């Protein structure tokens, strides 16, 4: 059985040199649940009789840790988040899987009015240490109700933390960090990244929520992104280098609280900022970053801050429309070149 | 688990408290309170279904006061009674005179025992009335005057008080002392609250996250 294979691999063999996001997430659960008996997982189809999650991320967990700690639920998002909140108030560390980010809209009352606010409204008498996992992303023709990025909705609510890893090591480290965190965390997984390969996580290396990663150093412009488009940004930076432009790529990893220091330090050096995200551009996280950078570095910018986001329409089903909807490395290259051209015109 | 500022929120969260009790192997039971209006919210149905499927030690107590905000039960609720809704979740549903403490106790004791024995949730519909509008100071013009007068005339408090004396459980002096103590405690709490200083604006930064340094200072401007 796959479930057993996953277990054995996690418990007996040394970690492989490279792994996938999917395997890294499974390993994060294995390690977190083994380390702390208070860690729970609930969500639709997460237990082994239901295939260990629709993508297989939780395979082996209910077999190893018991179906009382890893529980498949009815299709009831409010009940899922409510149960997670209640168990957390009683000392547990539940991870709730909301399958797709679009389904979180059904549970917004529980997330926004309760998980986010109980610490403040109780005067600090309780916190809500839950992690809410959800996957999303355009690119697999899943249509308008399965692929939205709503990270700016959650980032706009005081009391929630929002993370969106792009590598296996970050997926592992940030899931562990979210489970250990005293506050509610929204954990965003990109569907296309599950199979992507990267260096295996070091379980001892903690990844702090709120700390960006500099994926590539550069001097002509800064590209800030997160989730799958951070990978596109790295690809774009390699292409730009061949065209003589040196791009510094920052993968935020956490959107709320975002790593302002890392972004400001980079833009202070390069003087140009391109922000790239898969969420639609208007009112996206890029607007907050752009406003902050414009405010803090006014006068030091060599060009106006530029944003790339998805088109302001629902995620389209049709292949050519979906391709045109999300920015890719080619569009990042074009935008970066245009941004750098602006300077040369001025000189 | 009492209701929060959102009608219908107590049931899903009570399930989590009950799940924790189940995991702990303790005999604790979660009790969720809500009104008849809250039984029309989706969360009620999701929560009762989950509690039944997981056999959670939880008691759902609906206080049916015949109005949801300003709208009568008949205009808002298709079910003949709230207790009937338990049928859909294959759990016991019991309607009781919520203004009769002895009847309420008996029903609650049975529901709690069921929960402790691992037999899962119970839905209790406690029939009652409200003597005031939904919002403090609202003129309650939407309430039937005769119905309201009849309910006030049947106020459970003086009725229960007279019953305790008639059955020889307590005498006038004992009850007067309890009432005096309770009123004194309330007065003390009100005096304490009124005498307390108003909060410092720095509290805007407190308890948003466990670590107050997470949110930069300028975000509070």
A76 CB neighbours in chain B (<8 A) are: 46, 49-50
- Domain shared by B84 and B130, yes or no: yes
Across the A/B interface, how many CB contacts are shorter than 8 Å?
118
Token readout for B86 is 């338990």
pLDDT band at B151 (very low <50, low <70, confident <90, very high): confident
Q: Is A38 helix (H, G, I), strand (E, B) or coil?
A: coil
Burial of A121 (0-12, 13-18, 19+ CB in 10 A): middle
Q: Is the pLDDT of residue A347 over 80?
A: no
Q: Is the pLDDT of residue A16 over 70?
A: no
% of chain A surpassing 90 pLDDT: 92
- Domain shared by B90 and B108, yes or no: yes
pLDDT for A261: 96
Instruction: List, in order of start, the domains of chain A with CATH numbers.
Output: 2-199 (3.40.50.970), 213-346 (3.40.50.920)
* Backbone phi, psi, residue A214, to 5°: -85, 110
Q: Residue B124: which residues within 8 A CB-CB, separation 6 or more? A: B59, B60, B61, B62, B83, B93, B94, B96, B107, B108, B111
- Domain shared by B128 and B22, yes or no: yes
Nearest alpha carbon to residue B43 among B7, B5, B90: B7
- Domain shared by B115 and B23, yes or no: yes
- Domain shared by B162 and B131, yes or no: no
Evaluate whether residue B206 is within a structural domain: no
pLDDT for B147: 86
Q: pLDDT tens across B78-89, in order?
A: 999 999 999 999
Q: Is the pLDDT of residue A14 over 70?
A: no
Evaluate whether residue B201 is within a structural domain: no
Contact B109, B47 (CB under 8 A): no
Burial of B195 (0-12, 13-18, 19+ CB in 10 A): exposed
pLDDT band at B141 (very low <50, low <70, confident <90, very high): confident
CATH code for the domain of B72: 3.40.50.970
Residues B136-158: what's their mean pLDDT?
85
- Domain shared by B192 and B141, yes or no: no
CA distances from B110 to B105, B158, B207 (A): 9, 26, 40
Measure the CA dihedral A17/A21/A25/A30, to 10°: -30
Evaluate whether residue B210 is within a structural domain: no
Report CB contact under 8 Å: B209, A78. no
Residues A164-189: what's their mean pLDDT?
98
pLDDT for B136: 72
pLDDT band at A4 (very low <50, low <70, confident <90, very high): very low
ipTM score above 0.85: yes
pLDDT for A5: 41
Q: What is the mean pLDDT of chain A?
A: 94
Q: pLDDT tens across B32-69, in order?
A: 999 999 999 999 999 999 999 999 999 999 999 988 88
- Domain shared by B55 and B139, yes or no: yes
Question: Does an H or E element contain B72, and which?
Answer: strand B71-72
- Domain shared by B4 and B68, yes or no: yes
Q: Is the pLDDT of residue A220 over 90?
A: yes
Evaluate whether residue B62 is within a structural domain: yes
Answer with the one of B120, B139, B154 that is the final residue of a domain: B154
Q: Residue A20: which residues within 8 A CB-CB, separation 6 or more? A: A168, A194, A195, A196, A197, A198
Evaluate whether residue B90 is within a structural domain: yes
Q: Residue A213: which residues within 8 A CB-CB, separation 6 or more? A: A170, A250, A251, A253
Q: Is the pLDDT of residue A204 over 70?
A: yes
Instruction: Measure the CA–CA gap between B170 and B183, rounded to whole angstroms.
Output: 19
Evaluate whether residue B208 is within a structural domain: no
Reduced DSSP (H G I as helix, E B as strand, rest coil) percent helix, strand, coil of chain B, to 5:
50, 15, 35
Number of domain units in chain B: 2
pLDDT band at A8 (very low <50, low <70, confident <90, very high): very low
pLDDT band at A87 (very low <50, low <70, confident <90, very high): very high
Q: Residue B52: which residues within 8 A CB-CB, separation 6 or more? A: B89, B90, B91, B120, B121
Q: For residue B87, what are the domain limits?
A: 1-154
* Backbone phi, psi, residue A98, to 5°: -105, 30
Evaluate whether residue B102 is within a structural domain: yes
Evaluate whether residue B79 is within a structural domain: yes
Beta bridge pairs of residue A189: A135
Query: Going along A128-272, which residue ranges are E strands?
Result: 131-136, 161-163, 185-190, 197-199, 213-216, 221-225, 247-251, 254-256
- Domain shared by B149 and B177, yes or no: no
Is the Cβ of A182 closer than 8 Å to some Cβ of chain B?
Answer: yes
Q: Map tokens 């260990």 to a residue.
A: A52
pLDDT for B59: 98
Higher pLDDT, A321 or B205: A321
- Domain shared by B55 and B115, yes or no: yes
Q: Is the pLDDT of residue B135 over 90?
A: no
* Backbone phi, psi, residue A199, to 5°: -55, 140
Q: Is the pLDDT of residue A15 over 60?
A: no
* Backbone phi, psi, residue A307, to 5°: -120, 140
pLDDT band at A223 (very low <50, low <70, confident <90, very high): very high
Q: pLDDT tens across B174-188, in order?
A: 999 999 999 999 999
Report the residue of B207, B213, B214, B220 to disrupt the A interface, i.e. the one with the largest count of A CBs within 10 Å. B207
- Domain shared by B120 and B149, yes or no: yes
- Domain shared by B17 and B117, yes or no: yes
B13 CB neighbours in chain A (<8 A) are: 82-83, 85-86, 89, 110, 114
């Amino acid at each position: 059985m796959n479930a057993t294979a996953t277990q054995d691999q996690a418990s007996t063999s040394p970690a492989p040199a490279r792994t996938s996001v999917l395997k890294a997430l499974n390993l994060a659960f294995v390690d977190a649940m083994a380390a702390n008996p208070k860690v729970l997982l609930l969500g639709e189809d997460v237990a082994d009789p239901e295939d260990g999650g629709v993508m297989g991320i939780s395979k082996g967990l209910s077999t190893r840790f018991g179906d009382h700690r890893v529980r498949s639920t009815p299709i009831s998002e409010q009940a899922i988040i409510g149960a997670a909140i209640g168990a957390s108030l009683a000392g547990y560390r539940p991870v709730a899987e909301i399958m797709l980010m679009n389904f979180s809209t059904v549970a917004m009352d529980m997330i926004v009015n309760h998980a986010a606010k109980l610490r403040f409204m109780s005067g600090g008498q309780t916190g809500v240490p839950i992690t809410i996992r959800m996957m999303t992303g355009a690119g697999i023709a899943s249509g308008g109700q399965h692929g939205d990025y709503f990270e700016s909705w959650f980032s706009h609510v005081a009391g929630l933390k929002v993370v969106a890893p792009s590598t296996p090591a970050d997926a592992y480290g940030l899931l562990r960090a979210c489970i250990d965190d005293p506050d509610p965390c929204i954990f965003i997984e990109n569907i296309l990244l599950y199979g992507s390969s990267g260096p295996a996580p070091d379980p001892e290396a903690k990844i702090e929520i709120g700390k960006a990663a500099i994926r590539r150093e550069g001097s002509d412009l800064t590209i800030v992104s997160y989730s799958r488009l951070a990978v596109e940004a790295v690809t774009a930076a390699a292409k730009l280098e061949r065209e003589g432009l040196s791009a510094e790529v920052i993968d935020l990893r956490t959107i709320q609280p975002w790593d302002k220091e890392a972004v400001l330090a980079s833009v202070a050096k390069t003087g140009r900022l391109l922000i790239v995200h898969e969420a639609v551009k208007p009112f996206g996280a890029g607007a907050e970053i752009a406003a902050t950078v414009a405010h803090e570095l006014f006068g030091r910018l060599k060009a106006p801050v530029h944003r790339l986001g998805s088109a302001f329409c629902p995620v389209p089903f049709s292949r050519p429309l979906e391709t045109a909807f999300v920015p890719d490395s080619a569009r990042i290259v074009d935008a970066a070149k245009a941004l750098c051209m602006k300077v040369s015109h001025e000189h | 688990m009492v209701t929060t500022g959102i009608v219908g929120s107590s049931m899903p969260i009570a399930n989590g408290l009950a799940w924790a009790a189940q995991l702990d192997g303790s005999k604790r039971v979660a009790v969720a309170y809500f009104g008849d209006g809250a039984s029309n919210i989706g969360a009620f149905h999701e929560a009762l279904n989950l509690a039944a499927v997981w056999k959670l030690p939880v008691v759902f107590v609906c206080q049916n006061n015949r109005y949801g905000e300003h709208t009568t039960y008949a205009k808002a609720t298709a079910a003949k009674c709230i207790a009937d809704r338990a049928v859909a979740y294959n759990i016991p549903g019991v309607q009781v005179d919520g203004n009769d403490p002895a009847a309420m106790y008996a029903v609650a004791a049975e529901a709690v025992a069921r929960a402790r024995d691992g037999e899962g949730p119970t839905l209790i519909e406690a029939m009652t009335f409200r003597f005031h509008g939904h919002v403090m100071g609202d003129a309650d013009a939407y309430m039937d005057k005769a119905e309201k007068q009849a309910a006030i005339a049947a106020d459970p408090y003086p009725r229960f008080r007279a019953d305790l004396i008639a059955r020889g459980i307590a005498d006038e002096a004992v009850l007067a002392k309890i009432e005096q103590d309770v009123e004194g405690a309330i007065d003390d709490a009100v005096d304490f609250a009124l005498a307390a200083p108003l909060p410092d604006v720095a509290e805007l930064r407190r308890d948003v996250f466990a670590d107050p340094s997470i949110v930069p200072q300028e975000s509070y401007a």
